[in-house]
Amino acid sequence: MGGMLVMAVLGLVMAEPEPDPTTEAAAPATEAPVTEPASPATEAVPLRPPRVLEPRRIVPRNRRPHGRSISRFTTRPPLVRPALRVAPGFSARPTGRPYAAFGFDALASVMLGLHGGYRQWGLAPELGYSLRTPRLDHRLLAGMGLVYGINAESWTVGWLPRVVLQPETGALALGVRNGLWYDFAENGFSVELSHQWLVLGGAPVHELQVTLGLDVAMLLFVVTDARMAWL
């Protein structure tokens, strides 16, 4: 009888407990959740790199005619370029009674090309007036120069010989002025270095002069937007 009790107790201890339905319902599910397939509208679209446009090459303006640009064998005809220069400056006498003076020149000229081409040789007849201080010397100028370049889009250089007349009390002073003239491109400014020989009061007088000029004619053409035939 005692053995049967022992066996019954061991059977109860070793028997597996029955599952509790309440605990099974509370336990979390271990299965993977079911996912719905993504619609085509919500699919991620791959980003394309931005399109990079190459910079447009700017071609510089070139107004030179075709062919040999500095020879006479081009399509540009002989040019005619008027000029009206106002040129303040200084003069000095290296001999005799030396002195330095302020001066002002007003010169009207026309440059006439002798041949076609981008840069041209030409003649420049010129008339002008010159004033020198402190004695207020009034002088008249007339000459015929030789120039090279002529067109306003490039530099122009010239040799300008002139006859000088200076009225004096009861006499007339006569002389010659030779100048080297350089005109800058497209802005109307120029500079001139000249030597003047003048017979004044029966004695020769030498003067060295430096002037800075402005072409008023070119300035008027630009302001009025006129067509300049020498460009």
| CATH numeric code, 80-223 | 2.40.160.20
d(CA 117, CA 124): 18
Exposure string over 8-27, b if 16+ CB within 10 A, otherwise e: eeeeeeeeeeeeeeeeeeee
Cross-strand partners of 105: 87, 130
> pLDDT at position 30, please?
53
Give the contacts of 141 (CB within 8 A, at least 6 positions apart). Answer: 105, 107, 126, 127, 128, 129, 130, 162, 163, 164, 165, 177
Domain ranges of the chain: 80-223
Residues 195/177, Cβ–Cβ less than 8 Å: yes
Q: Provide the pLDDT for residue 205.
A: 86
pLDDT (0 to 100) of residue 74: 59
Q: Which residues of the chain carry a pLDDT beneath 50?
A: 65-73
Of 15, 145, 31, 4, the residue nearest 85 (C-alpha): 145
Nearest to 126 by CA among 180, 77, 85: 85
Give me the pLDDT at residue 68, please: 46
Q: How many CB atoms lie within 10 A of CB 28?
A: 4
Which token pair is 88? 């303040």
* pTM over cut 0.75: no
Name the residue among 147, 70, 163 with its Cα closest to residue 111: 147
Tens-digit pLDDT profile for residues 150-181: 888 889 999 999 999 998 767 788 999 999 99
